[in-house]
């Protein structure tokens, strides 16, 4: 139990990174997802295949998910033809309620991948969060970015939010700023 609280504390502190530092980590994305949608417990993480080489980082992310009462499953993609099988595998494996897509290779950055994932997440009532790009204009639920002042901006597609019948908690961390867009 103490380990869980320490992990949560470390994640919270991670959101207060200095303005000059790079993007948020996947651990922080899991925390943000947990803050906004605490009812979600099964998270699929679609990553470029080269991301899977860092076993220590994968274990760290898995431990964070466990501390947040989430089950996380990774699905690597190296080719555009793998995207559909990847998503379907996550649905079968853990019955995903949310998918985090770590953009970073041609297969995941491709417009066909984007359209497929957005369409199938909305139809399957699965929360879609993108890392490294904003897909909310196309129908993804949310994207997250860090602002210069250290505040984490969460851009939410209002139509998708209503379609998924979500209710974000009113009491959020002061470090999270949610912006609804049509």
- Residue 135's SS3 state is coil
Instruction: Name the token pair of 16.
Output: 């207060």
pLDDT value of position 4: 44
- Nearest Cα neighbor of 127 from 116, 142, 137, 147 is 142
Range of the domain at 126: 2-181
Is the distance from CB of 140 to CB of 46 less than 8 angstroms?
no
Residues 6+ apart with CB under 8 A from 57: none
Q: What is the CATH number of the domain that holds 100?
A: 3.40.50.2300
Work out the average pLDDT over 90-112.
Answer: 92
How many separate domains does the chain show?
A: 1
Q: Model confidence at 5, in pLDDT bands (50, 70, 90)?
A: very low
- Residue 28's SS3 state is helix
What is the value of pTM for the model shown? 0.84
Read off the pLDDT of residues 7-50 as tens digits, 9 standing for 90 and up: 443 444 333 333 334 467 888 899 999 989 999 999 999 999 99
Sign of CA dihedral 156, 85, 39, 35: negative
Read off the pLDDT of residues 94-104 as tens digits, 9 standing for 90 and up: 999 999 998 88
């Amino acid at each position: 139990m103490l380990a869980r609280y320490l992990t949560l504390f470390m994640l919270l502190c991670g959101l207060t990174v200095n303005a000059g530092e790079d993007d948020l980590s996947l651990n922080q994305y899991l925390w943000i997802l947990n803050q906004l949608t605490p009812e979600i417990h099964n998270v699929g993480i679609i990553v470029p295949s080269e991301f899977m080489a860092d076993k220590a980082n994968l274990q760290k992310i898995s431990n964070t998910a466990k501390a947040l009462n989430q089950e996380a499953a990774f699905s690597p993609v190296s080719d555009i033809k793998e995207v559909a099988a990847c998503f379907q595998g996550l649905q079968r494996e853990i019955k995903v309620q949310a998918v985090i897509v770590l953009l970073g290779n041609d297969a995941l950055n491709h417009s066909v991948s984007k359209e497929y994932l957005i369409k199938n997440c909305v139809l399957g009532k699965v929360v879609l969060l993108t890392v490294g790009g904003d897909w909310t204009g196309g129908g993804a639920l949310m994207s997250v970015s860090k602002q210069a002042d250290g505040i984490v901006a969460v851009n939410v597609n209002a139509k998708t939010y209503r379609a998924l019948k979500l209710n974000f908690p009113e009491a959020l961390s002061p470090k999270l700023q949610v912006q609804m867009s049509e």
